[in-house]
């Protein structure tokens, strides 16, 4: 197999070099050599692995146009999980060297299940307590962890709703998917006190510093978890930006964490919350309709354009992205994380 050299250049000017085979994407080549670059979906759909290639040739595999719009691809931006070098390449990545890991062990720890309950018809809350002496939960709000099903070499990625802490606490909101392996485990085999293997954090979705610009968060279903983590962090740090959460679900039975959202709103004068139920019944007194339409209503005619954080199923994220573009929000002010279905 002919090999090419990949040189990764981080935001703080450090470099990491490794080999990449011609039919290998850059993320896989790094993993093969214990170099863990930022990734999330590994399917060309989320843009977590986006970089810029000033030097070298490559071929791009199939990617979502939201993750890598054609004009960016033209300029030389790449998604590393879908980038196949055909010569030596240099790639600039938008994060610092300390976000790259060089051993799977650095990121792994054991935890114990402390809470496991349905919070809606299709969402389970899973709380974990890290075990051992190190009780640090290192996390930039918006990142995710991989949770491994005990006794099976199967992991799934979930974003916690908590913030970084030194009490070893993690709180996940997990959608129950029909025939989903992790869903099946949660429904039938998980129990309080069980030990579970955790790896992470990973991903670059998270808050971006942009002065006093308002922050609008749009969450579909369990996309609420990383949004909660970010808003809770804003609360902890007493950040002054006005912020709004649009939380969308299909039916009233799917609403969860309404009390927590109300509690947060009561404690944060800068926060507004809209729970949007698409197929609402007569007794629903919150917003009725799709989160996309309700956001469009609120954005129309707004003077100051907010930063947008979108998180949820691809359909919702794509539709919301299109509305933001239609309203005139610059695409570099829209930060998104798609939850791709995984069985």
Among residues 44, 142, 223, 312, which is the contact residue for ligand FES, using CB under 6 A? 44
Cβ-proximal residues to 128 (8 Å cutoff; 6+ apart), any chain? 111, 112, 113, 114, 169, 170, 171, 172, 196, 198
Using the contact rule CB under 6 A, the part of the chain among 46-54, 193-201, 247-255, 304-312 near ligand FES is 46-54
314-327 vs 291-299: helix axis angle to the nearest 10?
Answer: 20
In angstroms, give the least distance from the CB of 44 to ligand FES.
5
Query: Using CB under 6 A, which of the segments 38-46, 91-99, 266-274, 285-293 binds ligand FES?
Result: 38-46
Q: Which of 31, 119 has the CB closer to ligand FES?
A: 31
CB of 195 to ligand FES, least distance (A): 29
The residues facing 273 across adjacent strands are 245
Is there binding between residue 313 and ligand FES (CB under 6 A)? no
Asked if 202 is part of the footprint of ligand FES (rule: CB under 6 A), the reply reads no
Residues with Cβ within 8 Å of residue 126, at least 6 apart in sequence: 113, 115, 116, 147, 171, 172, 173, 174, 186, 190
| 179-to-175, 342, 343 alpha-carbon distances in Å | 12, 10, 6
Number of residues that bind ligand FES (CB under 6 A): 13
Q: Which of 18, 29, 35, 42 binds ligand FES (CB under 6 A)?
A: 42
The DSSP bridge partners found for residue 309 are 217, 335
Using the minimum distance from each CB to ligand FES, give the nearer residue, 142 or 306: 142
Using rule CB under 6 A, residue 204 touches ligand FES: no
CA distances from 194 to 127, 133, 149, 269 (A): 11, 18, 11, 39
How far is it, in rounded angstroms, from Cα 78 to Cα 42?
Answer: 13
In the chain the first and final C-alpha atoms are separated, in Å, by 33
Contacts with ligand FES in 48-87 (CB under 6 A)? 48-49, 67, 79, 81
Contact region with ligand FES (CB under 6 A), list: 7-15, 36-44, 212-220, 260-268? 36-44
Where in 64-178 does DSSP place strands (E)?
77-79, 83-85, 89-92, 108-120, 123-130, 144-148, 155-158, 169-175
Residue among 30 and 44 whose Cβ is closer to ligand FES: 44
Letters for 81-100 (x = contact with ligand FES by CB under 6 A, - = none) are x-------------------
Q: How far apart are CA 244 and CA 236, in angstroms?
A: 16
Paired strand residues for 90 = 7, 55
Q: Does 290 bind ligand FES (CB under 6 A)?
A: no
1-17 residues labelled b (16+ CB within 10 A) or e (exposed): eeebebebbbeeeeebe
Does the footprint of ligand FES cover residue 46 (CB under 6 A)? Answer: yes
Nearest distance from residue 62's CB to ligand FES, in Å? Answer: 11
Q: What is the DSSP pairing of strand 77-79 with strand 195-202?
A: unpaired
Nearest to 146 by CA among 109, 200, 110, 194: 200
Q: State which of residues 41, 198, 264, 319 lies at the interface with ligand FES (CB under 6 A).
A: 41
Query: Which range touches ligand FES (CB under 6 A), out of 10-18, 41-49, 111-119, 312-320?
Result: 41-49
Question: Does 35 interact with ligand FES (rule: CB under 6 A)?
Answer: no
CA 151, CA 245: separation in Å to the nearest integer? 38
Shortest distance, position 327 Cβ to ligand FES, whole Å = 25
Binds ligand FES (CB under 6 A): choice among 6, 20, 45, 280: 45
Q: How far is the CB of 78 from ligand FES (least distance, A)?
A: 10
Interface residues with ligand FES (CB under 6 A)? 39-42, 44-49, 67, 79, 81
């Amino acid at each position: 197999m002919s090999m090419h050299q990949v040189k990764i250049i981080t935001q703080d000017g450090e470099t990491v070099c490794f080999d990449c085979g011609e039919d290998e994407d850059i993320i896989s080549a790094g993993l093969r050599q214990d170099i863990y670059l930022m990734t999330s979906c590994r399917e060309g759909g989320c843009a977590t692995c986006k970089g810029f290639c000033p030097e070298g040739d490559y071929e791009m595999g199939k990617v979502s146009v939201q993750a890598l719009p054609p004009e960016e691809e033209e300029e030389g931006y790449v998604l590393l999980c879908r980038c196949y070098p055909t010569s030596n390449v240099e790639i600039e990545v938008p994060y610092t060297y300390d976000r790259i890991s060089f051993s799977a062990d650095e990121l792994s720890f054991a935890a114990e299940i402390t809470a496991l309950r349905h919070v809606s018809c299709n969402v389970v809350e899973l709380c974990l307590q890290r075990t051992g002496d190190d009780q640090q939960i290192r996390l930039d709000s918006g990142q995710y962890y991989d949770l491994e099903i005990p006794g099976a070499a199967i992991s799934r990625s979930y974003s916690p709703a908590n913030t970084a802490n030194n009490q070893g606490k993690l709180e996940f909101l997990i959608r129950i998917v029909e025939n989903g392996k992790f869903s099946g485990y949660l429904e039938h085999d998980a129990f309080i006190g069980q030990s579970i293997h955790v790896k992470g954090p990973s991903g670059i979705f998270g808050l971006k510093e942009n002065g006093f610009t308002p922050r609008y968060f749009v969450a579909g279903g369990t996309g609420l978890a990383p949004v909660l983590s970010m808003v809770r962090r804003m609360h902890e740090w007493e950040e002054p930006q006005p912020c709004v959460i649009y939380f969308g679900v299909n039916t009233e039975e799917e609403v969860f964490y309404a009390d927590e959202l109300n509690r947060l709103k009561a404690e944060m004068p800068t926060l507004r919350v809209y729970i949007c139920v698409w197929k609402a019944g007569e007794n629903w007194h919150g917003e009725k309709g799709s989160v996309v339409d309700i956001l469009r209503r609120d954005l129309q005619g707004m003077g100051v354009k907010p930063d947008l954080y979108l998180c949820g199923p691809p359909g919702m994220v794509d539709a919301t992205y299109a509305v933001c573009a239609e309203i005139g929000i610059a695409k570099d002010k829209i930060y998104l994380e798609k939850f791709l279905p995984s069985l």
